[in-house]
A and B are shown apart, each in its own frame.
Chain A
Amino acid sequence: MKDETIGIHGLAFNEPLLFDQGSSGRTGCSLPEVDVPEVKTERLLPKKLLRRDIPGFPELSEVEVVRHFTRMSQWNYGVDLGFYPLGSCTMKYSPKINEEVWQLPGLSRAHPYQPESLVQGALELMYELERYLAEVSGMDRVSLQPAAGAHGELLGMMLIRAYLESKGNPRKRVLVPDSAHGTNPASSAICGYQVVQIKSGPKGYVEPQSVAEVMDEDVAAIMVTNPNTLGLFEEPIAEVAKIVHSKGGQVYCDGANLNAILGISRPGDTGIDVLQFNLHKTFSVPHGGGGPGAGPVGLKAHLAPFMPVPVVEKKGERFALNHHLPSSVGKVRAFYGNFAALVRAYAYIRSLGPSGLRRVSEVAVINANYLMSQLKSHYHLPYDKFCKHECVFSDARQVPHDVHTLDIAKRLMDYGFHPPTIYFPLIVRGALMIEPTETESKETLDQFIAAMKRIAEEAERDPELVRSAPHKTKVSRLDEVKAARQPNLRWRPKGSDPTLSASG
């Protein structure tokens, strides 16, 4: 039978580790001229501090290094290769012009401690970006310091704690819905809070009643995600916020899903006190294979005194860094933020403008609903109503054939797609969370729909084909049990055992 999957085999290479190739004495780098006296190291440093050598360190020429990483890159899937519908990750296309701008020497080759008069351009960019993010979210101020979403969450919870401390009692507990991302409870715990889980209601959102039942003067905050991880707008968010505020608590919003509501609804207008942005999601900063991203935090005026330092201020026509906020929580990282990511988000916002951003959300939501409407004939949809930028299916209709979400995900690779997010949110068994984003064409969506339908058919007709997928990738399913039982986390020279001792 003709193979109709998009994914095909190509010429890929086996490429050994850096440490298993090269040869003694090779180098791939040209160092600057030695134009100072070559004083003996022993004259400059105590002998006992000296290191003679780094055994096992790679020794390769430039061409070997280039081939090494070029070959390895061919084993990867990226947004520039194809559809990457990871729910809650917003894998949208990263505009190439943004890659040009952050590398301008004035932006990428400036030292953070240069005098302020020599970094006015950078400071202006940060000042303006703060204003733009505040406007988009309906917040009053924004801290650009955190390096990632989870980092921003941590800062957000610190701000809440500092605010409540200033009111006399930091309180002990934080409410977190069962649909929340794992970073939410983890961030609360680092701030010294005990996490109390709230069950989502039958309609998929948190019911005000559930909150009222547990809200008291010992609860510091509730952490919500809106739109939530089911891709649904938390309709009663304003009432929930009111309940929490009435007992003096604060409302934290996980802004990971902002791509659904740009220019349509603003968290700050719904009662949110703090939220984090994920610039590597909503604002097109590339994901880098696991970062770097940026997680700025938007906040309402009452939390501003506690912002981390420094903040960027404008005095007349000049911009300055203010390091002295008496009630500041301090710093969550050295220097000012993931500036190169901030530059790209700034460029993205300047490129799209207000109507462009609104169009982003409109099309993201249309794309997701289109997928949902076309897939529900073949996959179980736990919440059958219009979604926002992402939709969540389950494997309930495939399980009777002993085909599960994991198998569907692996088979999608053979069709040339990156799988959606799987097994999250935890409240849906066998969840498949699909977020197309606005940067996908209808043709791509149709190809994905066709593939998903074929896989559903395969699950009935030839389940073993799906269970044994993927068939076309460089490696097939990997033994994760072995990886965890006998951790081998680094290369070691031949003759030594790379796995850790059993006591790990």
Chain B
Amino acid sequence: MQYIPNTDADCRMMLDAIGVRSSEELFADIPSRLRLKRGLNLPPPLSETGLMKHMRALANRNADVDRYSSFLGAGAYNHLVPATVSHLVFRAEFYTAYTPYQPEISQGTLQAIYEYQTLICQLTGMEIANASMYDGSSALAEAVLMAHRINGRTEVLMPRAVHPEYRMVCRTYASKLGLRLHELPYTDKGATDLKQVKAGLSQRTSCVVIQSPNFFGGLEMLDEMAEAAHAVGALLIVCVPEPVSFGIIRSPGECGADIVVGEGQSFGNALNFGGPYLGFFATKEAYLRSMPGRLVGQTEDKEGRTGYVLTLSTREQHIRREKATSNICTNEGLCALTATVHLSLLGRTGLRELALLNLRKSAYAKEAIAKLRGYELRFSGPTFNEFVVRAKKRTPAKVNRALLGKKIIGGLELGRFYPELSDCLLICVTEQNSREEIDALCKIMGGAR
């Protein structure tokens, strides 16, 4: 077997050196009744050829965004990934390394994380950022827990315009610690109702969570939200599942956010049927010691050479144990490296142009669909690269069936998350959707029976 170098002969030599006759003696301390007395009931082994055939067969039963046009977004985005990314990220020195606990032989990983932390700060407009969290939803949950640690309050304002799965994750995390989540409605502009936010705020409010662009693609008024929250001593947490928007949208930091979290999948990480993704987490200097996750800092060695280390680890589980800021250990290191490489390639102008392309393609589609008979835009406010369309004559399911027939995966049917929007679709348009694809989408939507 090619992954186990030691043959029976090698094992025989080692057993002799250990001083036992068979390996059974090494397992003698396991009580007999706890021993498995049969083979594992698993399929027999496949050769590399056999495995490849089997996996291709499985993969072929899935659609993918190469063979279909896709207009799905909702927290996972089909964006370009330059060919260069995989050639760098899948260098064995990066992907077969462990967490950089021994800094002298992990400077590659450590400098890359330092660069990643910097990029996240620049994008979010915040002062410090950690080395990554599992994904956008758990990063948001951890931010809510952090706000509670900071001000001790237990009420959380959670708009319905925040991704439904993110809200569910927050509820799951928060309920164990006695935090209460209050839902806030959205307006016909497709944004969170500021009046309702103000009405919901009190001295018991720990934080207000705002997603922007929100689940409907709409842009929220962060300045006003920050002001309202701070007036009662609550924190503003901004959540950004689509960070390509940072290319043209004003940073949450500039608007007064206290914590900014989001999903970094858009930066070079494949769709991967939902994971692994990349949670980013950034906040103000003042909250440094309350922030969960790993941190890399710059320092010097004995000869005065610059180097990087994991630092401020005493907040973390392996030292602080039950009083830790989080239980996180393994995070999404390679996904963070992927984002770093990706953003390095895009660069200052590339990210901006990418964001503009998304905005303009989405605007083109939005305008065209609004003109179609049987459809209207559900919300009137500005959007980034997603928008909600109401199907007046046919159900969303019927529309999507018609599209599938032409190998187009249409927008997300919102009824599964919002019963009041069961006649609506959430359509996402990125730079990966050509004009021809968008025109085809409109044509078929327009003619769908």
Inter-chain contact B177/A192, CB cutoff 8 Å: yes
Instruction: Across the A-B interface, give the 7 residue pairs with the lowest CB-CB distance, nearest first.
Output: A106-B59, A335-B274, A290-B333, A353-B45, A288-B334, A330-B172, A292-B276
Hey, what's the 0/1 contact readout for B317-360 against A, CB within 8 Å counting as 1?
A: 11111111011111111110100110111111111111011011
Of the four ranges (under 10, 10 to 19, 20 to 34, 35 or more), the interface on chain A belongs to: 35 or more
Please give, as numbers and ranges, the residues of chain A lying within 8 Å of B168 by CB-CB distance: 330-331
**Contact residues in B for A53 (Cβ distance below 8 Å):** 348, 352
Q: Which of A274-316 contact B (CB under 8 A)?
A: 278, 280, 284, 286-294, 308
Q: A237-B34, A353-B45 are in contact. Are A110 and B102 (CB under 8 A)?
A: no
Is A266 close to B, CB under 8 A? yes
Q: CB-defined interface of B284-300 with A at 8 Å, one 1/0 digit per residue?
A: 01101100001111111
Chain B residues, CB < 8 A from A62? 82, 84, 345
Known: A112-B271, A149-B330, A367-B6. Contact between A350 and B61, CB under 8 A?
A: no
CA distance A474 to B307 in the complex (A): 9
Pick the contact of A354: B40, B70, B78, B275 (CB < 8 A): B40
Q: Are A76 and B58 in contact (CB under 8 A)?
A: no
B312 CB–A CB distance under 8 Å: yes
CB-based contact A36/B435 at 8 Å: yes
B61 touches A114 (CB 8 A): no
B360 touches A39 (CB 8 A): yes
B418 part of interface (Cβ distance < 8 Å): no
Q: How far is the CB of B294 from chain A (nearest CB, A)?
A: 7
Question: Which B residues are CB-close (under 8 A) to A265?
Answer: 30, 34-36
Contact pattern, B 264-281, Cβ under 8 Å of A = 1, otherwise 0: 000000111111110000
CB-CB < 8 A to B334: which residues of A? Answer: 286, 288-292
| Contacts between chains A and B (CB distance < 8 A), count | 692
Instruction: Identify the stretch in A24-32, A242-250, A397-405, A458-466 within 8 Å (CB) of chain B at 4 or more residues.
Output: A24-32
B248 close to A (CB within 8 Å): yes
Query: Is A119 a contact of B273 with CB atoms below 8 Å?
Result: yes
Tell me if B327 and A135 are in contact (CB < 8 A).
no
Which applies to chain A's interface (DSSP): helix, strand, loop or mixed?
loop
Q: List, in ascending order, chain A residues with CB within 8 A of B270's CB.
A: 103, 108-109, 340
Which B residues, 408 to 433, have Cβ-Cβ distances below 8 Å to chain A? 409, 412, 416, 431-432
Residue from B46, B274, B343 in contact with A334 in the complex, judged by beta carbons closer than 8 Å: B274
- Smallest beta-carbon distance A264→chain B, Å: 6
Query: Is residue A18 contacting chain B, with contact meaning CB distance below 8 A?
Result: yes
- A233 interfacial contact with B, CB 8 Å: yes
* B-side interface size class: 35 or more
> How many Å lie between the Cα of A105 and that of B68 in the bound state?
11
- Alpha-carbon distance A331/B417, docked complex (angstroms): 15
Residues of B with C-beta under 8 A to A110: 62-65, 271-273
With contacts A76-B109, A106-B60 known, what are 13 further pairs, Cβ within 8 A?
A: A28-B347, A36-B364, A57-B343, A58-B348, A112-B271, A119-B273, A147-B138, A183-B318, A286-B334, A334-B274, A365-B27, A385-B29, A410-B104
Q: Given A110-B63, A111-B76, check contact A192 B309 (CB 8 Å).
A: no
| B321-A105 in contact (CB<8A) | no
Residue on B nearest A295 in the bound complex, by CB: B330
Q: What residues of chain B lie closer than 8 Å to A480, measured between beta carbons?
A: 299, 309, 311
* A window 320-347: CB within 8 A of B: 323, 329-341, 343, 347
How distant is B147 from chain A, measured CB to nearest CB, in Å?
A: 15
Cβ–Cβ < 8 Å partners of A100 in chain B: 52
Contact partner of B350 (CB less than 8 A), chosen from A29, A37, A269, A503, is A29
- Chain B contacts for A46, CB-based, 8 A: 219, 382
Q: Are B333 and A291 in contact (CB under 8 A)?
A: yes
Contact bitstring B61-94, A, C-beta under 8 A = 1, else 0: 1111111101010111010101010011011111
Q: Does A38 contact B (CB under 8 A)?
A: yes
Contacts of A419 in B (CB 8 A): 102
Closest to B345 in A: A28
Closest approach, in angstroms, between the C-beta of B354 and any C-beta of chain A?
6
- Please pick, from B134, B327, B331, B409, the residue contacting A111 in the complex, using a CB distance under 8 A: B409
- How many Å lie between the Cα of A491 and that of B298 in the bound state? 9
Question: Which residues in chain B, 157-190, are within 8 Å of chain A measured between CB atoms?
Answer: 163, 165-166, 168-169, 171-173, 175-178
Is there an interface contact between A44 and B382, defined as CB atoms closer than 8 Å? yes
Other-chain contact of A290, B20, B100, B320 (Cβ < 8 Å): B100
Most buried by A among B87, B172, B177, B329: B329
Query: Shortest beta-carbon distance, A413 to chain B, in Å?
Result: 6
CB pair B246–A340 under 8 Å, yes or no, is: no
Known contacts A28-B350, A32-B432, A365-B23; decide if A78 and B97 are in contact (CB<8 Å).
yes
A138, A148, A290: the one within 8 Å of B109 (CB): A290
A11 at the interface (CB under 8 A from B): no
